[in-house]
Amino acid sequence: MKRWLIGAMAVMVAVSLAACTPTTEKQKKETSAATAKSAENMIPQSTGGAADKVPDPNVMPVAVVSIYHGGDSDSLVQDMDSLDTEGLDAQLLVDKLIEYGVLTEGTQVLSFDIEGKEEDSVGTLNLNQAESAEGASDEMFLTEIGNTFTENFELGKLKLKVNGANYSGKDIQQGDGDYLTYRTDYDTVE
């Protein structure tokens, strides 16, 4: 047992002497040379900051818009899309509504005016025709147009006119005091 204990202590002394021995100059040079070589092969680290996310100058600016249209079932859905321009344009928004099947082909904006500011703003959209391409009810059709325009142009309410006259559909005939406002329950409209 004494021999075994003396052997273990001898091994521990040898290990501690090896660990505490000073390094030679040759070993220091070899270590620093190996570190420098590995640093050359390293890929620079990305910080993930704004400097790494430089926008492509060749990409055209776009405007992101919300389009409300009939979904697969009998309810309305909201889709995000983009216009190939930096600012909003009423005719481009109407073209998107045509693309999504809300308005019929050939629908043109005769005029679009906004009066007032923020939640008090009133938009007046005058179209050459206003017919549902998907055969939706008047309520659904007006909600599609109303929500699309009030959200994208940040309007308090929208007046829809057809050739300068109030909108008149199968079931809904709007008067001078009737306006479209944003409907939060759009997904329940049929």
Strands 165-166 and 157-162: antiparallel
- Per-residue confidence at 8, pLDDT binned at 50, 70, 90? confident
Q: Using only C-alpha atoms, what is the Rg of the chain? A: 35
What's the rounded Cα separation, in Å, for the pair 142 and 169?
10
How confident is the model over 65-91, as pLDDT tens digits?
Answer: 999 998 877 788 999 998 888 888 899
- Show the tokens assigned to 62: 């776009």
Model pTM above 0.75: no
Quote the number of domains for the chain.
1
Beta strands in the chain (DSSP E): 63-70, 76-83, 109-115, 122-127, 157-162, 165-166
Give the residue numbers spanning the domain of 118: 63-188
Q: How far is CA 36 from the centre of its chain?
A: 45
Helix, strand, coil shares of the chain, percent, nearest 5, are 35, 20, 40
Q: Which residues contact 190 (CB under 8 A, 6 or more apart)?
A: 74, 75, 137, 139, 140
